[in-house]
Amino acid sequence: MSEWTVPPAQLRLAPDELSAWLIPIDAPPHRLRDLAETLSPDEQRRAARFHFERDRIRFMAARGALRGILGAYLRRPPAEIVFAYSPHGKPSLADEPSLSFNISHSGDWALCAVALNRRIGVDIESIQPELAGQSIAERFFSPREVAELRALPSAEQSAAFFRCWTRKEAFVKARGEGLSLPLDRFDVSLRPGAPPALLSTLDDPREADRWSILALPAPPGYVASAVVEGPSPSRVFRFIQSP
């Protein structure tokens, strides 16, 4: 976890930089109460609708932490952050659209990334080796990705599967179109050692040059990826949010 550092008191972000934030979900009760108080009425209602307590806590912890992170960049109290939502549900800042962000959660962690003036998507997944061998790849990945995955030694397939999954999911989230963007109509790299990349997109061949994929370090047992519009950021900060 040494790749993730405590953030400085004053946060700054330049246009060619990206900040990734790792957020532990298991906040202690007093911290969770503080985070919950920053949520808007619609977020409180959403939290109350979760069937499982664990999902409710995860949402409140991640959404509260996200408010804190965005508030620190904007020098604004977390409760004063106002979100807007795209037709497919992607949140953005209602009055500061130049500060773009995206968040993902899996298991004990949430991952958030923040950039300026470019679309961004992130995905974190806990590695579940049993999923890699099943027909999920054949169902969701492109033919090229499936061929590359199945050509790997079986010991490498699990990591490659989740590398591919998080890169695809982060791309879908960066575009913000949800699952209306068919997952089998674009290819990402997945082989061990291959640079993270959007290799091709069937619907618009120029699209592959418009996006950069970043492999982010993740806690043990997790894989994390980010996708940003434009060239790869010249600097990537990695901060861990204190629980």
Ligand X SMILES: CC(C)(COP(=O)(O)OP(=O)(O)OC[C@H]1O[C@@H](n2cnc3c(N)ncnc32)[C@H](O)[C@@H]1OP(=O)(O)O)[C@@H](O)C(=O)NCCC(=O)NCCS
Give the interface with ligand X as residue ranges (CB under 6 A): 59, 62-63, 88-91, 102-105, 121, 123, 140, 165, 168-169, 172-173, 176, 178-179, 183
Residue type present at position 145: E
Cβ proximity to ligand X, 102 vs 189, nearer residue: 102
Smallest gap from Cβ 177 to ligand X, in A, equals: 7
Dihedral sign computed on CA atoms, order 198, 211, 62, 240 = positive
Q: What are the structure tokens assigned to 174, written together?
A: 């960066």
Closer to ligand X by Cβ: residue 185 or 235: 185
Quick one: 46 or 238, whose CB is closer to ligand X? 46
Shortest spacing between CB 10 and ligand X, in angstroms? 26
- What's the rounded Cα separation, in Å, for the pair 175 and 193? 26
Kindly write down the DSSP assignment for every residue of 4-28, as one continuous string: SBPPPSS----TTEEEEEEEES---
Q: How far is the CB of 219 from ligand X (least distance, A)?
A: 15
Q: How far is the CB of 205 from ligand X (least distance, A)?
A: 21
Considering beta carbons, is residue 14 or 84 the nearer one to ligand X?
84
Count Cβ atoms within 10 A of the Cβ of residue 117 and give its class: 0-12 exposed, 13-18 middle, 19 or more buried. Answer: exposed
Give the integer Cα–Cα distance in Å for 5 and 67: 19
Beta-carbon contacts of residue 240 (< 8 Å; ≥ 6 apart): 1, 4, 5, 6, 21, 22, 23, 24
For ligand X, the closer of residues 73 and 140 by Cβ is: 140
Shortest distance in whole angstroms from residue 179 CB to ligand X: 6
**Rounded distance between C-alpha atoms, residue 86 and residue 129, angstroms:** 34
The radius of gyration of the chain from alpha carbons, rounded to an integer in Å, stands at 18
Smallest separation, CB 233 to ligand X (Å): 19
Q: Which is nearer to ligand X, 67 or 239 (CB)?
A: 67
For residue 47, give the H/E element and its range: helix 41-49
